[in-house]
Amino acid sequence: MHVKSGTMALVLPVRDHHPKWGTNCFLAPNATVVGDVVMGESCSIWFNAVVRGDVNYIRMGDQVNVQDGACIHGTFEKCGTTIGNNVSIGHHAIVHGCTLHDNVLVGMGAIIMDNAVVHSNTIIAAGAVILENTICEPGSIYAGVPAKKVKDISGELIEGEIHRIARNYVRYASWFTPPDTSTP
């Protein structure tokens, strides 16, 4: 496992569960990743983000970015969190005990609650609240409080927003290099 980090993020085992990640991942120096967390390749956990697998599991695919101040968690003995490939979780979003399929963009400050399912190629607008047990249709945009489907997504929007943002975060992570640990 290779992780790039300016200094070490807070990475802690909980109840014999140790976080695991694939190659080419970036954990910001003040990111927190604890417990039963497994993430794929080219993931990034940004400044002040919390991925807290203490009370239930968190599983992430490849090329997932968890932006500044976001929180990923679950519910004890009830709801783990599963995140597919090519997913962007915006600044200060909360993703809690739910399932996000591939190619999802979660806007800044959005909240996705227990047992919700966000199908592939879907955008959750900034500030939207996806209530417990909500099923979001594939290829859609959801907005509002509580969130409702507002329209279908075009292929241009999938490429121009969902894929572009996920690719950009892989690029941004590459700008950070491990510290030089050689002695002078």
CATH number at 19 reads 2.160.10.10
Q: What confidence tier does 8 reach under pLDDT thresholds 50, 70, 90?
A: confident
In a domain, 44, yes or no: yes
Domain that holds residue 78: 3-174
Length of the chain (residues): 184
Among 117, 91, 121, residue whose Cα is nearest residue 104: 121
Mean residue pLDDT across the chain: 93
In a domain, 180, yes or no: no
Query: Averaged over 68-85, what is the pLDDT?
Result: 98
In a domain, 109, yes or no: yes
In a domain, 182, yes or no: no
In a domain, 34, yes or no: yes
Domain count, the chain: 1
In a domain, 160, yes or no: yes
- What pTM value is reported for the model? 0.92
Give pLDDT, residue 1.
41
pLDDT digits (tens, 9 = 90+) for 108-136: 999 999 999 999 999 999 999 999 999 99
CA distance 154 to 160: 10
Kindly report which listed range (45-59, 72-86, 165-179) carries the lowest average pLDDT score: 165-179
In a domain, 181, yes or no: no
In a domain, 183, yes or no: no
Q: What confidence tier does 183 reach under pLDDT thresholds 50, 70, 90?
A: very low
